[in-house]
Amino acid sequence: MKKIAFLFPGQGSQSVGMGLEFYNEYDFVREIFDMAEEITRINISKLCFKGPMEELTQTVNLQPAVTAVNLAYLSVMEKNGAKADISAGHSLGEYSALYSAGILSKEDIFRIVFKRGELMHREALKYKGAMSAVLGLTIDALSEIITNVQQEGIVAVANHNTEKQIVITGAPEFVKKVSNCVKEQGGKVIPLKVSGAWHSELIKGAEGEFMDFLSSFSFKAPNSSICFNVSGGIATDPVEIKSIMEKQLCSPVKWYNLNQKLIEEKTEIFVETGPGKVLSGLVKKNLPKDYPCKIYNVNSMATLETVLKVIT
């Protein structure tokens, strides 16, 4: 049997209309949205299906919204007999992976991501932040620049997505300073439209309260493998997993390292389960050219049918 990985996207993969096709087709998908709305008191279905995009993209709304779509697509897969041997998610998407691996219930996932969104939104209002994608430099070269600028102010790596695609985060003036140095070394910089400096010290004020909130939830041992952002590796002990998730808020997303681990685990089928195609695109860039695998997206009825023919 070929090893299958389910990959769950996070913020940045959203689009107005996401999830509507499955919502109209399946009663149990509507139940997932109803659950999310009951827990958050947000009209998530309206935001997902009709927008407006500006309101959908507010992190307090977006985190439960993307999670609802991820879990809706996953539930349809599972109802059709598809199961992951290993799960992973990018930042927010990691919470969908926790459900996929049987570590937390849907209800607990929605409670946690809603609280996470509230706290991140609060900190973003307190401290203006910026994020930019850096292309063309290795992590070592960029880290050297960041280390020098960090002596003046807050800036850090947010996401290491591919070998030479890295997102930086921090106070706007210091993100700009790093960006200027990157350009001097021949790299390219793309400012991102975000409402806060995610995965940086600027949202550190949320970390303690989030840890306290997480402590009230019971984490189970995973029933399948899960690979984590903080370490880029696999963990199986519930206590260790909770500790990892406590650190995840302000730690960099080691997606490149995580992808290397999936290769090491001889994963042969990658299924991005959620809106967009961001993660499948990153996986393609991170895999060796001769690596034997298939990469799919599940974000519509048509793509679902294609994937189910392969993995069930």
- The catalytic position among 87, 199, 200, 251 is 199
Which candidate, 132, 94, 136, 114, places its Cα nearest to that of 244? 94
Tell me whether residue 121 is one of the annotated catalytic residues. no
One domain for residues 35 and 117: yes
Q: Which of 140, 146, 144 is nearest to 179 (CA)?
A: 146
- Nearest-10 crossing angle of helices 207-214, 238-248: 150
CATH number of the domain to which 44 belongs: 3.40.366.10
116 lies in the same domain as 222: yes
Domain of residue 138, CATH code = 3.30.70.250
- Check whether residue 11 and residue 113 sit in a common domain: yes
- Pair 228, 234: CB distance under 8 Å: yes
Q: Which amino acid is at 274?
A: G
DSSP symbol at 220: P
Nearest to 86 by CA among 194, 20, 193, 6: 6
Position 267 scores a pLDDT of 98
Question: What is the structure's pLDDT at 1?
Answer: 77
3-state secondary structure of 14: coil
Residues of the chain with pLDDT under 70: none
Asked if 13 and 66 touch (Cβ cutoff 8 Å), the reply is yes
For the chain, the average pLDDT equals: 97
Q: Are residues 113 and 243 in the same domain?
A: yes
Look at residue 195 in the predicted model and tell me its pLDDT.
86
C-alpha to C-alpha distance for 59 and 144, rounded to whole angstroms: 31
* Whether residues 118 and 61 fall in one domain: yes
Quote the number of domains for the chain.
2
Instruction: Give the active site residue among 13, 75, 87, 91.
Output: 91
Distances (CA, A) of 177 to 151, 158, 252: 12, 16, 19
Domain final residue pick, 145, 160, 193: 193
Is 91 a known active-site residue?
yes
Are 208 and 186 contained in the same domain? no
Helix (H) or strand (E) holding 37: helix 27-40
pLDDT in tens, 180-211: 999 999 999 999 988 899 999 999 999 999 99
- Domain carrying residue 14: 3-124+202-311
Residue 296, pLDDT score: 97
Same domain, 173 and 210: no
Do 106 and 232 sit in the same domain of this protein?
yes
Both 49 and 172 in a single domain? no
The answer to whether residues 52 and 76 belong to one domain is: yes
Look up tokens 């140095």; give the residue.
181
Global confidence as pTM: 0.97
